[in-house]
């Protein structure tokens, strides 16, 4: 168990050993909750790990970005007309 000091603006530092053990990285989010008289800090993913693009979807997105770089695009109005919505 680690002991840390609460600093200005209620900030704390997660000890490196715990940070590494949980696989945290700078910029990650954590969830803070209270259980009884304890503060619980748990890693929090804002997107489910299963909610990722398939290789095929990644390829489509990459192709779309390449088309945009080449200046190939349609306006929202054109797309709406094409889709009939």
User: Which pTM value belongs to this model?
Assistant: 0.51
**Is 1 a member of any domain?**
no
9-36 burial string, b = 16+ CB within 10 Å, else e?
A: eeeeeeeeeeeeeeeeeeeeeeeeeeee
**Is 3 a member of any domain?**
no
CATH of the domain at 37: 2.10.260
Same domain, 83 and 59: yes
Same domain, 31 and 58: no
What integer is the mean pLDDT of 1-22? 94
Which domain covers residue 30, as residue numbers? 8-44
Which helix (H) or strand (E) segment holds residue 69: the answer is helix 55-69
Residue 49 pLDDT:
67
**Is 21 a member of any domain?**
yes
Same domain, 39 and 65: no
Count of the separate structural domains present in the chain: 2
Q: pLDDT (tens digit, 9 = 90+) per residue, 24-71? A: 999 999 999 999 999 999 999 887 767 788 899 999 999 999 999 999
- How would residue 85 be classed by pLDDT, with cut points 50, 70 and 90? confident
């Amino acid at each position: 168990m680690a002991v840390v000091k609460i600093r200005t603006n209620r900030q704390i530092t997660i000890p490196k050993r715990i940070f590494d053990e949980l696989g945290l990285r700078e910029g990650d989010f954590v969830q803070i909750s209270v259980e009884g008289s304890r503060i619980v800090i748990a890693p929090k993913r804002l997107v489910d790990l299963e909610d990722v693009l398939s290789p095929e979807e990644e390829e489509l997105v990459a192709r779309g970005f390449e088309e945009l770089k080449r200046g190939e695009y349609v306006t929202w109005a054109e797309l709406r007309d094409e889709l009939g919505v």
